[in-house]
A and B are shown apart, each in its own frame.
Chain A
Amino acid sequence: MRLPVQLVLGTVLFGLFLAAALLSLVWTPFDVTELDIAHKLAAPSAAHWLGTDHLGRDMTAMLMAGARTSIAVALLAVGIGITLGVPLGLAAAARRGSLLDEIIMRGNDLIFAFPSLVIAILITAVFGPSAINAILAIGIFNIPVFARVSRGAALTIWPREFILAARVAGKHSARISAEHILPNIANLLVVQGTIQFSMGILAEAGLSYVGLGAQPPTPSWGRMLADAQTFFYAYPRLAILPGLAIVLTVLGLNLMGDGLRDLLDPRLRRTVR
């Protein structure tokens, strides 16, 4: 089987940043919490491959640690969306048209009325800013996305005759959902997962940029961009690098998603953006 070009390209791109994030857990070229005002705003050199920022922190180390924050936040947010959204969607589909279905779908609509930034604003206003806020805000917004996708996909599977056959074999709807429905919509969930992952990275960057996400000294790409704004004209490097990191990570994930879709099922277009 030939792998789609996008899948290979996307996996390589995203893999690069994932590797950097994992590496940063055990090693970074410099300590990101260590300020070195004497060497602030230094140009790239043998010691500082990508130079230093306005507080003299090593940019390479900052970008690596930033990757860790971005990927962790987005991954956990997707995790929240899948673990809560998929069972809700499957349950709604299994009891189509029932009160349960109605409640789940109206609940979804309600959450959809709160963009993740608004959720983050509400949480921050009451509990103060933190990376957990970002995870919760993005994660909560992911729940209805996964609930809708899995409900919609499950509804196309339920009337199929092999489901009727399973019911004739005496299986209950929870068991049928796990055994027959879930494996048949897994492709769709994987593709939607990569899309939500990439959107999570963008959302995390936005939240950190406005100060509602990860707080200093935790490095994050959005925070780096906010710090760099004042120096942008004089030191464009400070803003270009984290920006490129975001673009390439998101691009990598989106290409992976497209590639996976082509690989798993070319007819599959039911993903929600």
Chain B
Amino acid sequence: MILIPGHIIAKFTFPGVVVHEFAHMLFCKVRKVAIIDVCYFRDGDPVGYVQHEGSTSFFTTFLISMGPFFVNSLLCLLICMPAYIPLKFFEIENIYFYFLLWLGISIGMHAIPSNQDATNVYNEAKIHARKGNLLAIISFPIVGLIYIFNLLRVLWADVFYGVGVGLGIPSLIFG
């Protein structure tokens, strides 16, 4: 297993970072949460961020934090799908199809929320779970999975996720 520094991976997969931050921003807009600052991509740590006001609604916090999971995964699938049949089934070699795979998998690799996103959900979930909020209760194992996933990034879990969504789902559909 080759260890590649995260900032190099982020540069190579920059479309995913941009879409990830966009997804946070999008759900802030949808839930009418004030945005204070946004950085879509930069040479630093973190490579991108969205600063926004807090929310008293757990659903809003959950959506904003989990937004990239939905948006990045969907876009990954939509972009990889057109390349799947010609490449896999008809074995047509074309640089455009490989470009689509790079773009789709890059976006899919950044679908999983960061530890900071998970912590935001966890802090709010603690408060709302006491009030019997079902989504808050369900969030605990989700947060746990996010932490585990982020630990496994050193073992390329993000690449496996991107490939799984971009190529695995089409292979389940088309065989």
Partners in one complex: no
